Amino acid sequence: MMKWILFVNLIPKHSDQLIRLMKFACYQLGNTRLLTKLLVILEAAGVIILLDKSIKPGDVISLDGTFGWITQLGARYASVLTRDGREYLIPNEDFITSQVVNWSHSSDLVRLEIQFGVAYASDPHEVKRLASEAPLQVARVVKIPKPVCHIVNLGDSSIDFTLRFWIRDSTAGLTNVRGDVYLALWDVLKENNIEIPFPRRDVTILSGTPAAPPLPND
């Protein structure tokens, strides 16, 4: 198996040709079992990832709650560096057997969203317009595609919206840019006297009500 790993690592730029050549050779020999064994060995060693380049150094990924970017990819494990400086060594088989979100696989554009609600006295059409303009005040938010805002629910005490926007530099963090957009949204709603409600309950105490009967003794 180590011979195959060393061989594959020497020619990563020609991975597609290598796989086609392996299939052709095995089919010509009439030995599909050999092809299956070879692919199983390569996949178990994590070399398939090196071949198809679905995961590569520099990609921003999230896997089982770990969010970060790949700094190194070897035949056995990948090194993932998180925003807080922690470095995780993740076995390559986890990328094959688990669901992985690759934020930068085919494009560096990443769409994010935040949720918020406004009071029922507000004009929802005006809220949508103002909210769609708010993310553009944040430097990391791109202008195209444009931010969009939609009503998603008529709640108990608020009209609920979702606000979606796009960024290109996911390696710079997601939580911080969401926070900046929330601040921009807060400012624009406050400037236009649009209230963000919070749950309230009115309690009325009635006087002169009869006392509850005593509980029977056990």
Kindly report, residue by residue over 126-173, the tens digit of the pLDDT. 999 999 999 999 999 999 999 999 999 998 889 999 999 999 988 788
For every residue of 60-97, DSSP letters joined together read EEEETTEEEEEEEE-SSEEEEEETTS-EEEEEHHHHHH
φ/ψ bin of 91: left (φ > 0), alpha (ψ from -120 to 50), beta (otherwise): beta
Task: Confirm whether 60-102 and 110-191 share one CATH topology.
Answer: no
Which class for 185: exposed (0-12), middle (13-18), buried (19 or more C-beta within 10 A)?
buried
In this prediction, what percent of the chain has a pLDDT beyond 70? 70
Q: What are phi and psi of 178, to 5 degrees?
A: -60, -40
Confidence (pLDDT) at 50? 60
Nearest by Cα to 166 from 93, 88, 105, 109: 109
pLDDT (tens digit, 9 = 90+) per residue, 94-137? 777 778 888 777 777 888 999 999 999 999 999 999 999 999 99
Q: Find the helix packing angle between 175-191 and 124-133, rounded to 10°.
A: 130
Encode pLDDT of 44-97 as tens digits.
Answer: 555 656 656 677 888 888 888 788 888 888 777 888 888 778 888 888 777 777
Q: What is the pLDDT of residue 212?
A: 64
Residue 27's pLDDT band (boundaries 50, 70, 90)?
Answer: low
Both structure tokens of 98: 């688990």
Fold of 110-191: Alpha-Beta Plaits (3.30.70)
Mean pLDDT of the chain: 79
What is the pLDDT, as a whole number, of residue 195?
94
Confidence category of residue 7, pLDDT binned at 50, 70, 90? very low
- CA–CA distance, 143 with 109 (Å, rounded to integer): 12
Question: Would you say how long the chain is, in residues?
Answer: 218
How many CA atoms lie within 13 Å of 132's alpha carbon, on the beta-carbon side?
A: 14
pLDDT of residue 144: 93
Yes or no: say if 178 and 186 are a contact pair by the CB < 8 Å rule: no
**What residues does each domain of the chain span?**
2-52, 60-102, 110-191
Q: Which CATH number fits domain 60-102: 3.40.50.920, 2.20.25.90, 2.30.30.60, 3.40.250.10?
A: 2.30.30.60
26 pLDDT above the threshold of 80: no
Instruction: List 77's β-bridge partners, or say none.
Output: 91
